[in-house]
Structures are given as C-alpha cells and as structure tokens.
Amino acid sequence: MKTLTIVLTDGPYISEYAEIASKLAEEALKQYQVNIFLYLDAVHIPKKSQNPSFFNNVGELFTELAEKGAIIRACARCAAARGYLAEEDNTLKGSNCEDYLTGIKISSLYELSEMLKKSDRVISLSR
C-alpha cells in the first residue's frame, strides 16, 4: 500500500486547512496509508473539549481519522511551547498527552523525517 503524508502548520478554524486535510485523509485512507504531521500551530488541532459554534469540530474529525487507521503525530517542541506535554502514562487512552484527543500522540520532529522518507506522496497545507 502506498503512503501519503499530510503536513499541517496552522491551527483549527483560523483557516480551513485542517478540515480540508481531514477530508483529503478520509478519502485517501481508501487506498493509502495516511500519516499526518502536526507542526507549529497545528498542534492545537487535537486539543480536547473544542466547542466551535459555527464550524465542524476539527479535533473530532482528526480523532475519527486515527480510529480509521491514520497515524497522527504532533511535534514535541511545538506542543510543549503551547502547553501540551507528552507523558509516559500509558493509561491515557490512545494518546500520550492528557489534553489531546484519542489516537493522536506527541512525538519528535524526527518522526516527520521518517514519515517523509517512507512516503509516496506528500501534501503540505500552510497559510
């Protein structure tokens, strides 16, 4: 199976990119292994308890992608800068950050390099 990696740098709602990425990933999962790397402000995307009044809940869209098999990782430096800390507590369901939704983990930036190296296609969305 071919691999698609999507790189995001913007947070949710300030642009439509996170939602567009989720739609692309949803469709791509039918024929690709999908990786998503959350970089810079994109580390806000998987935050728990989002409650947008007029938009789709982007965090929920991403946790659903993880349930369907997408590998979603957030940059550790960017996450720490914004108050999301990786923990070793394995009781956190499907994540290593208590502030994150299920299925999305914080990892090293080197994981981006690994994802790129294994990819057949890469899509980068950034304002």
Partner 1 sequence: MKSVFCLLDTAPYGSEKAFGALNAAAVSLTEMSVTFGLYGDGVYLAAADQDSTELGVPNLSDILYSYGELRVIVHEPSLIERGLFGETLIETIELVDEEDFLEEMENSDFVILF
What residues line the site for partner 1 (CB under 8 A)? 7, 9, 39-41, 77-78, 109-110, 112-113, 116-117, 119, 121-122, 124-126
| Contact residues for 88 (Cβ-Cβ < 8 A; gap 6+) | 96
Kindly tell me which of 92 and 125 has the beta carbon lying closer to partner 1. Answer: 125
| In the complex, minimum distance from the CB of residue 89 to partner 1, in angstroms, rounded to a whole number | 26
* Nearest to partner 1 of 3, 63 (CB atom): 3
SS3 state at 34 = strand
Q: Report the nearest approach of partner 1 to the CB of residue 122 (Å).
A: 4
**Is 57 buried (19+), middle (13-18) or exposed (0-12) by CB count in 10 A?**
middle
Sign, Cα dihedral of 91, 45, 60, 53: positive
Rounded to the nearest whole angstrom, what is the least distance from the CB of residue 19 to partner 1 in the complex? Answer: 18
